[in-house]
Amino acid sequence: NDEVKGANSKNELAQLEGIYRKMKAEELINNGVTVADPARLDIRGEVVAGKDCLIDVNVILEGNVTLGDNVHIGPNTILKNVTIGNNSKIEAFSHLDSATVGDGCVIGPYARLREGSNIENSAKVGNFVETKNSTLGNGSKANHFTYLGDTEVGTSTNIGAGTITCNYDGTNKHKTTIGDESFIGSNTSLVAPVTVGSNATVAAGSVITKDVPNGALGVGRSKQNNKENWSKKKD
């Protein structure tokens, strides 16, 4: 009888947790959610899901999780206290905690959204990207190997691979602001507090310590110097 059971041992506790997981998964299924394998869905809080959602295997949903319509949650993901808008996709091995994702977004794979992350409509957070206390504006992209901490990014801006915001000076956190329709080149370090304006470009490999005005090109790197007829020293 599953209605009344004791939890007098670790084994019995595990059995009860299994029954609870099954009940919560069945609630979602009965509300129209496709659950790839109910036995491999772990619900540790309250989940509200819209129409035509899909939850793949080995997913943990913790705290208060709200999914819009047609949301796809990929395998091996963790969602804790998050809201995800309509038609968004969370790819495999992503970890979202206290974050908000808008409509039509793609997150991951291997993305981490930490507390205070706000990903607006149609934005993209790609593989090995971490955000914390940051907003990525409508249609903006951070596709590869990026850290955005205490950052506000406008609309339709591209954050190149390897970009980091240097938000911590050893004592205090500082803010980085990037405007609309700007382009941040690969391997850029933005040393906060700093502002990059709208329609601005930052050259790849730059260390930006001063504000970049609207429509400007910011370059913060040494000039390449080639040594002709160079040969390595031989032993």
Q: How many domains does the chain have?
A: 1
Residue 3 has pLDDT above 80, yes or no: no
| Residue 183 in domain | no
Q: Is 0.75 topped by the overall pTM?
A: yes
User: Does any domain span residue 223?
Assistant: no
> Bridge-partner residues for 218, per DSSP?
202
The mean per-residue pLDDT over the stretch 18-23 comes to 86
Q: Taking the alpha carbons of 59, 136, 132, 143 in that order, is the dihedral positive or negative? A: positive
Residue 228 lies in a domain: no
**What is the tens place of the pLDDT at every residue in 183-235?**
999 999 999 999 999 999 999 999 999 999 999 999 999 888 999 988 877 76
Distance of alpha carbon 154 from the chain centroid: 16
In whole angstroms, give the CA distance from residue 25 to residue 92: 20
Average pLDDT, integer, range 32-58:
96
Q: Residue 59 belongs to a domain with what CATH number? A: 2.160.10.10
Q: Residue 33 to residues 25, 38, 69, 71, 72: CA-CA distances in angstroms?
A: 9, 11, 10, 10, 10
pLDDT tens digits, 82-135: 999 999 999 999 999 999 999 999 999 999 999 999 999 999 999 999 999 999
Print the domain residue range for 37: 10-132
> 142 with 136: CB under 8 angstroms?
yes
Catalytic center residues: 144
